[in-house]
Chains A and B, each alone.
Chain A
């Protein structure tokens, strides 16, 4: 499993980190990969820190533990940075993607000692502009695809269009907004 990519998501209950990890698994599956997408279930409640995971590989995946040395970490809520050790075990040649508007200096100081790549994205702005409401998971999904290069932008957009049509069959009015959020996020995620 040399080509195995492991991703850990940190979010708060209700923000859709679990859904985002399942959508990412779906999208990678559709490009022909072997995938795992699973949340770490605890006593969930709205606002509590939650963790979700993805494994993506071109060969079958047998390991069934949580992920301790991820290639990538996605932080859906920057208020977690001061209370959760989000870079624990994160590989230095990987990257962390954070939904934040905070300064590079602040981020470097709270991610104490982490020397790998840091990417940021303002998922709130994107979501509110594209959807009129704050759903950070869609922009974060696009951001991690862009940073990890799991698939091309085009492959993601095409696949997600299908997924959204299915997922939002009863409220098709949100499909365009979600697609717009993906497109904006693909452009706006940046390395600091």
Chain B
């Protein structure tokens, strides 16, 4: 029986960590994820977990400590945001290439500068090609659920990759909302124990971790990493199936909201999907066939599946909460449109950069996007695929 509670997104992530009771948590505080290690250190102090909590002096050290702990054979977790993740950058790649299934709670925030503590996805987008599995969460419930599923995915022998669970800074991390929690014992049983195949503290099998890897080997090791990411797709769905058996809550690579018979749709991630659902409902009442595809699994990228799910549309808008500053469009837009091109699904597509630096994402702005999609659906033409919404107006609201 699930437990009816009300928690903020940060409390939800910390509660999941408490129930997982990892061997090691190493973290350095940074807004808006500070509360996660803060709550967790309280659990440690109160004896609610028997985790070794390492209060490091920087995020680089936090990830390094997680790497050391995982290499030794234990289960390690951390949390960070924005510039904290930037400071981890070097170790982020090392964690994935050493095949250490560390789980990171990433509370998304704009990477400086100028200094901004609010939400966008520029931190996550910066590590999208670093070999981490990336799950995005619409609300506190999904942040909790994704964290409970994280170790089962990351530690699977066919995967062995680190995983980050993303949620929107402040918007969900600091909003108190209803949530269904699972009982401690059930979570413990679901997550299971971690018994790595190879680890440093195994005296029967002396190994080295991370030695020099020259021309004759690195390519093969990278290909193995790539294969692990492909394998993760199957494992993510298997774990979701088991999770549904326990909770009744169903998860896939993405959520299709009123998409099946939709003519126009938005593709987005995290909290914006919730606001978009509200807009879709409103438009449906007016007889407009609007839909939504909310990406949950961004890495591995479910290219074929997304292309198929969008193939029947007359027009699609892809939202990016980070600008790639490449004169062409955001990262999610490029992923989705290239998936459609490769899978020969020809749907007029348009990109909207939005919500940068915590700019509030209003239902009205999303409704305007659907209105523009109706026009694109009618003409079949996209004049300018690289657009903004929510930018302070001065002349043409779509002009860059």
Contacts and interface: CB of A to CB of B under 8 A. Distances in A.
Interface in A1-45: 1, 22, 25-26, 29, 34-39, 41
A35 B178 contact: yes
Residue among A25, A63, A65 with most chain B CB within 10 A: A65
A173 B274 CA distance: 42
B170 A35 contact: no
B95 to A, nearest CB: 30
Contacts of A63: 274-275, 278, 363
A62 B176 contact: no
Which of the four size classes fits the interface of chain B? 20 to 34
B6 A64 contact: no
A61 interface: yes
A38 B278 contact: no
B178 A34 contact: yes
A1 B274 CA distance: 13
Interface string B135-175: 00011000000000000000000000000000010111011
B183 interface: no
Contacts of B362: 65-66, 68
Contacts of A47: none
A66 B6 contact: no
A60 interface: yes
Contact of B275 (A25, A38, A62): A62
A38 B175 contact: yes
A62 B278 contact: yes
B271 interface: yes
B18 interface: no
B136 to A, nearest CB: 13
Contacts of B272: 64
A64 B178 contact: no
Nearest to A32: B4
A25 B360 CA distance: 21
B232 interface: no
Given A41-B117, A63-B278, A36 B175 contact: yes
A41 B177 contact: no
B118 interface: yes
B6 A35 contact: yes
Residue among A35, A36, A64, A68 with most chain B CB within 10 A: A64
A65 B178 contact: no
A60 B364 CA distance: 20
A65 B361 contact: yes
A29 B176 CA distance: 10
B211 to A, nearest CB: 45
B277 interface: yes
Contact of B360 (A26, A61, A65): A65
Given A25-B6, A65-B361, A66-B360, A35 B277 contact: no
Contact of B174 (A35, A41, A65, A66): A41
Contacts of A25: 6, 176
B321 to A, nearest CB: 12
Given A25-B6, A26-B6, A41-B170, A36 B177 contact: yes
A62 B118 contact: no
A64 B271 contact: yes
A62 B268 CA distance: 14
B274 A38 contact: no
Contacts of A66: 360, 362
Interface in B260-274: 271-272, 274
Given A26-B6, A68-B362, A37 B271 contact: no
Contacts of B177: 34-36, 61
A16 to B, nearest CB: 15
Contacts of B275: 62-65
User: 4 closest Cβ contacts across the A-B interface?
Assistant: A38-B175, A62-B274, A64-B271, A37-B176
8 contacts: A25-B6, A26-B6, A29-B178, A35-B177, A62-B274, A62-B275, A63-B278, A64-B275
